[in-house]
Structure 1
Amino acid sequence: MRATLHVPLPPEAAFRLFTARGEREWVPGWEPVFPVRTPDDTAPGTVWLTSSGEEATTWLVASRDFPRSVSYARITPGARAGTVTAALAAADSGSKVTVTYDMTPLTPAAASALDEFAADYPSFIRSWEKLIGAHLA
């Protein structure tokens, strides 16, 4: 799944919005927990945990090319595993950010839920653009 949003900041400033700590600024309820002291939440190998409802997800920074891209591996046991990548490029009046989710379901029930997520993915990413815009306003 891939979709693009616009952020009215240059990539050097927009990059932070797509990090574990930076998402706290605009994602309601986003509270990553770092199991060890983590001065740089974008350093490859950095791990953090999130939870939502009955699901717990472990995240790992897979790669970082500041300010062009950051990739995360994520595993939600019994549900799904895969990667999330945010690729940033300078654009008129800000940045074009392409967000790619490459997920594998771990159960048949998770496959159905992932199909629903994929069907709504473009509106999911549009919601990010709205939330970031409201945060920056």
Structure 2
Amino acid sequence: MSHRPRFVLDGQLTVDLPPEQAFPLFTAAGERLWGPGWAPVFLADVGDDSAPGTVWRTTSEGRETTWIVVESAPPHAATYARFTPGHSATTVRVRLEAMDAATRVHVGYDVTSLEEAADDDLARFAQDFDDMLAEWQSAIAAITPGLRSS
């Protein structure tokens, strides 16, 4: 058996909201506000989609991914596990740091390829990671005026 590639990625973005308002944007339901095509399907009734043990699925590029909230400490941090059969297993960490009226969001992905067919796709993902976070920042900035507390 050959070893599969693993990519440990860290980056950050800035959200022009305090952590209490920024945190929900990094939950399954909250990402619907700014993530084009993001459509989580919850597998059980959910009162708090940031609660540990919450499970949902997403579909992208014809692949279904199952997500699980592993740890959550609103409004400071959340850790998610995601599994895409025949493709990858990933841990996603989000940590929010208050900065005056804004929030620095630290995002970490630890992704391992499960099959040779996924190796190149994940290498591209790693190469484009910072660009992805820049896109997230722009998408969130576009909806931020409507989210600010008065």
- What range describes the TM-score normalised by the shorter chain of this pair? over 0.9
Residue 62 of structure 1 pairs with residue 86 of structure 2: no
- Report the counterpart of residue 17 of structure 2 in structure 1: 9
- Report the counterpart of residue 118 of structure 1 in structure 2: 126
CA RMSD of aligned residues (A): 0.8
| Equivalent residues of 2:78, 2:94 under 8 A apart | yes
| Equivalent residues of 2:96, 2:105 under 8 A apart | yes
From 11, 31, 36, the equivalent of 2:39 is 31
Instruction: Measure, in 2, the Cα distance between the counterparts of 1:53 and 1:4.
Output: 25
Instruction: Measure, in 1, the Cα distance between the counterparts of 2:30 and 2:11.
Output: 20
Q: What SS does structure 2 have at the residue aligned with 1:56?
A: strand
TM-score (norm: length of structure 1): 0.97
Shift of 1:92: 3.2
- Report the counterpart of residue 92 of structure 2 in structure 1: 84
Number of aligned positions between the proteins: 137
Instruction: Measure, in 1, the Cα distance between the counterparts of 2:16 and 2:56.
Output: 28
Q: What SS does structure 2 have at the residue aligned with 1:12?
A: helix
- Report the counterpart of residue 42 of structure 1 in structure 2: 50
Which letter maps to 2:124?
Answer: E
Which letter maps to 2:91?
Answer: T
Shift of 1:119: 0.6
Which letter maps to 2:70?
Answer: A
Q: What SS does structure 2 have at the residue aligned with 1:67?
A: coil
From 29, 32, 35, the equivalent of 1:21 is 29
Q: What SS does structure 1 have at the residue aligned with 2:17?
A: coil
Unaligned runs of 5+ in 2: 1-8, 146-150
- Report the counterpart of residue 109 of structure 2 in structure 1: 101
- Report the counterpart of residue 138 of structure 2 in structure 1: 130
Q: How many percent identity over aligned positions?
A: 47
